[in-house]
């Protein structure tokens, strides 16, 4: 059954935004890294818009060019004038809590769409691909939030483009870090790192005990995420190396419960590492904090508590359901 709305549409929307960013930078004669930055965001827009049509090797060369631009220091941020802090405080005071309404539309749309969109059909056509219902729902929520934000703030359509450009340039090359690290995790899995990890864990720990297998998996997800900076990179390696052979095959655990709680354990590692620059270092820059590691320091206690809870939750659930 052919879907009417696909996730590629939202990739195209993101790519169009990136193309607008590249165009704004190219027209900004005062930009300190004008052409390198314009090329970086332009190449990224090509990946988003035409990624499904490009051969994998072509996408790889585009990403390599982006990495070289970033490594050569050719990707920077503009010095476009923006509103003053006093103006922003005054504007926020007028909007008050209404400013949060558009943001809440995204999780609301994600939940509602995940539960309802997959079952909508029009003859031989499905509204969305059931396998992509959650991603599409997030994309729909994003567009609804954009429309609601324009309505609430009464801003022109050029404002989100300008502010989105400013934020993307502030984040800089780190915006592609999650995708690169996730791809690296897949490469590690294909290279056979998982079995090596399994052998090392089996030698170092008494994995014949179910609790030890669970603790090794959850802690391994967190630790490898700290090293890699992304739970998606850690997941294939640790799941193939520890989760499947020890929890599922040796102790007959539930793979769905293992995978879901395991990913949450990996996210605990994300909260603890500067390698997750887009999550932990960029917010410190955006908030102009004096300590660039202030976000990580604030997250450490809750991350450790959640990680410990994940170990106990998985142990009590994965072997019983």
Alpha helices of 54-176 — where are they, by DSSP H?
56-71, 85-95, 101-116, 133-153, 158-171
Q: What is the pLDDT of residue 292?
A: 81
Taking a C-beta distance cutoff of 8 angstroms, is the pair 63, 180 a contact? Answer: yes
Q: What is the pLDDT of residue 81?
A: 65
By residue count, the chain amounts to: 321
Q: What is the pLDDT of residue 316?
A: 94
Q: What is the pLDDT of residue 317?
A: 93
The model's pTM: 0.73
Residue 128, both tokens? 């969305």
pLDDT digits (tens, 9 = 90+) for 104-161: 888 898 888 888 887 788 878 888 888 888 888 988 999 999 998 888 888 888 888 8
Q: What is the pLDDT of residue 258?
A: 94
Report, as ranges of residue numbers, the positions in the chain whose pLDDT lies below 50. none
Q: Which residue(s) pair with 125 in the sheet? A: 2, 122
Percentage with pLDDT > 90 across the chain: 32
Burial 225-243 (b: 16+ CB within 10 A, else e): bbebbbbbbbbbbbbbbbb
């Amino acid at each position: 059954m052919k879907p009417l709305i696909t996730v590629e549409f939202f990739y195209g929307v993101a790519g169009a935004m990136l193309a607008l960013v590249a165009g704004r930078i190219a027209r900004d004669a005062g930009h300190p890294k004008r052409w390198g930055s314009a090329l970086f965001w332009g190449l990224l827009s090509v990946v988003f818009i035409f990624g499904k049509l490009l051969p994998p090797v072509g996408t790889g060369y585009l990403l390599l060019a982006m990495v070289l631009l970033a490594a050569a220091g050719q990707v920077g941020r503009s010095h476009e004038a923006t509103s003053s802090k006093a103006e922003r405080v005054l504007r926020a005071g007028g909007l008050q809590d209404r400013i949060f309404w558009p943001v809440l539309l995204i999780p609301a749309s994600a939940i509602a769409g995940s539960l309802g969109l997959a079952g909508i059909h029009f003859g031989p056509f499905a509204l969305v691909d059931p396998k992509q219902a959650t991603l599409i729902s997030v994309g729909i929520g994003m567009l609804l939030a954009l429309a609601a934000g324009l309505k609430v703030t009464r801003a022109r359509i050029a404002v989100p483009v300008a502010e989105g450009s400013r934020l993307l340039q502030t984040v800089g090359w780190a915006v592609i870090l999650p995708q690169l690290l996730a791809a690296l995790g897949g490469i590690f899995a294909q290279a056979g790192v998982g079995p090596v990890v399994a052998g090392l864990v089996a030698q170092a720990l008494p994995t014949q005990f179910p609790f030890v297998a669970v603790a090794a998996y959850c802690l391994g997800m967190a630790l490898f995420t700290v090293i890699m900076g992304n739970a998606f990179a850690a997941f294939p390696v640790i799941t193939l190396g520890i989760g499947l052979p020890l929890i599922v095959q040796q102790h007959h655990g539930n793979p769905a419960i293992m995978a879901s709680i395991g990913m949450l354990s990996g996210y605990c590692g994300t909260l603890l590492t500067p390698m997750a620059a887009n999550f932990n270092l960029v917010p410190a820059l955006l908030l102009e904090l004096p300590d660039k590691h202030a976000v990580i320091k604030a997250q450490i206690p809750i991350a450790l508590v959640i990680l410990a809870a994940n170990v106990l939750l998985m142990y009590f659930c994965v072997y019983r359901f």
